[in-house]
């Protein structure tokens, strides 16, 4: 719990001192992946760039620590494909930082001892076998379930993330029923069509609103929906068609967006070294590469980001916490307490 307190204290301190601090940082440690999801945002199997050396990652983690980072998210591709994954986790933890892992879940049973040291784990699963395998590839569901079972048997807590597409509009209820069996909280997001490999999988605006209205109903009804109600409510109030992801100019009259605080307190680092404000702005912002410029210069450059707001549910859940929204903080505290509770 102490590290979570230090994470929140870092947010408060940066706000009081009116400083930009990279408190939460996503590091995509590889582009390699063992699945071929139909909608993959990262297009990992089409990328030619290599991945960081372990030495480059260690240097980056030291730079982040010196600049005030408190929470590192290890992402991919599939991070568990790296032979030095344990070393990376050990480095994050030895620097006194919280460590999160985003994984497709198919390889977790091979890394249980290391995963005991990780503070939070998100497993991607897109519904029951039919729904999931339509999105994530035939046979992936059984491998993911095997991974979830191994984590549960080992007493390692996790939550899930589900991308809603035309393939799996019924996945919400499927995942929430599964959540009762495995005792996890569930994240849900509609597919970002503009960033998808297969744009035919995207929901239209009416379908998106219907999906998010269901999620908001379940959240208010006490079902184990991870993101805060306000983040989902903000999505429903978005004043533009959903293919417009951000607002960078004047905010429309009468619309009160969740302010973008991520650009003050977080960033997203691709496996090629490019440092972006967030996942939404990958390939939309002229990023610097920390391997060439150093992390501090790449971070300072992010201040030129003119994004004022977006409708991304995950980003806005973070934005609300950075804005000290009490209900969102209480939602996060509830999740952390459940994560830390021994069963």
What pLDDT is attached to residue 251? 87
Model confidence band, residue 42 (pLDDT cutoffs 50, 70, 90):
low
Q: Is the pLDDT of residue 309 over 70?
A: yes
What pLDDT is attached to residue 297? 98
Model confidence band, residue 250 (pLDDT cutoffs 50, 70, 90):
confident
Arithmetic mean of pLDDT, 4-25: 96
What pLDDT is attached to residue 43? 58
Domain boundaries, the chain: 2-8+21-204+219-225+265-298
Strand partners, 102: 122
Arithmetic mean of pLDDT, 324-329: 96
pTM: 0.95
Arithmetic mean of pLDDT, 48-69: 91
Q: Is the pLDDT of residue 291 over 80?
A: yes
Arithmetic mean of pLDDT, 71-95: 97
Tens of pLDDT, residue by residue over 214-246, are 999 999 999 999 999 999 999 999 999 999 999
- Contact call for residues 172 and 214 (beta carbons, < 8 A): yes
The residue count of the chain comes to 343
Tens of pLDDT, residue by residue over 145-197, are 999 999 999 999 999 999 999 999 889 999 999 999 999 999 999 999 888 87
**CA–CA gap between residue 121 and residue 123 (Å, rounded):** 7
Arithmetic mean of pLDDT, 72-99: 97
More confident residue, 46 or 233: 233
Residue 185: C-alpha distances to residues 180, 182, 220, 252, 339 (Å): 9, 9, 14, 34, 10
Q: Exposure pattern of 185-216 as b/e (b: 16+ CB <10 Å)?
A: bbbbbbbbbebbebeebbbeeebbbebbebbb
Model confidence band, residue 46 (pLDDT cutoffs 50, 70, 90):
low
Arithmetic mean of pLDDT, 89-103: 98
Arithmetic mean of pLDDT, 21-33: 96
Class of domain 2-8+21-204+219-225+265-298: alpha beta
**CB neighbours of 313 closer than 8 A, spacing ≥ 6?**
188, 189, 212, 227, 231, 232, 235
Q: What are phi and psi of 180, to 5 degrees?
A: -65, -40
Model confidence band, residue 341 (pLDDT cutoffs 50, 70, 90):
confident
Q: What is the spatial order of strands in the sheet that 159-164 belongs to?
A: 186-190, 159-164, 120-124, 98-103, 71-75, 24-28, 266-269, 274-276, 288-289
What pLDDT is attached to residue 48? 54
What pLDDT is attached to residue 1? 80
Q: Mean pLDDT for the chain?
A: 94
């Amino acid at each position: 719990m102490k590290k979570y307190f230090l994470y929140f204290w870092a947010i408060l301190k940066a706000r009081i001192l009116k400083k930009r601090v990279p408190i939460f940082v996503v590091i995509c440690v590889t582009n390699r992946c063992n699945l071929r999801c139909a909608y993959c945002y990262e297009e990992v199997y089409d990328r030619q760039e290599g991945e960081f050396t372990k030495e480059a990652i260690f240097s980056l983690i030291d730079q982040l620590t010196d600049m005030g980072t408190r929470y590192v998210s290890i992402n991919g591709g599939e991070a568990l494909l790296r032979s030095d994954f344990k070393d990376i986790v050990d480095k994050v933890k030895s620097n006194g930082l919280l460590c999160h892992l985003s994984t497709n879940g198919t390889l977790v049973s091979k890394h249980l001892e290391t995963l005991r040291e990780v503070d939070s784990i998100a497993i991607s699963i897109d519904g029951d076998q039919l729904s999931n395998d339509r999105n994530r590839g035939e046979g992936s569901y059984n491998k993911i379930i095997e991974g979830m079972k191994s984590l549960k048997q080992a007493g390692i807590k996790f939550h899930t993330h589900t991308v809603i597409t035309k393939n799996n509009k019924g996945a919400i209820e499927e995942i929430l029923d599964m959540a009762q069996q495995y005792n996890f909280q569930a994240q849900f997001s509609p597919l970002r069509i503009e960033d998808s490999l297969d744009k035919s999988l995207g929901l239209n605006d009416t379908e998106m609103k219907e999906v998010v209205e269901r999620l908001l109903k379940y959240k208010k009804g006490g079902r184990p929906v991870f993101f805060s109600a306000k983040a989902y409510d903000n999505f429903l109030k978005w004043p533009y068609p959903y293919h417009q992801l951000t607002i960078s100019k004047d905010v429309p009259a009468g619309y009160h967006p969740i302010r973008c605080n991520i650009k003050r307190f977080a960033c997203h680092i691709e496996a090629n070294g490019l440092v972006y404000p967030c996942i939404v702005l990958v390939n939309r912002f002229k990023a610097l590469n920390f391997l060439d410029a150093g992390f501090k210069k790449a971070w300072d450059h992010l201040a030129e980001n003119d994004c004022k707001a977006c409708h991304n549910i995950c980003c806005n859940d973070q934005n609300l916490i950075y804005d000290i929204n009490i209900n969102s903080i209480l939602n996060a505290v509830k999740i952390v307490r459940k994560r830390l509770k021994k069963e």
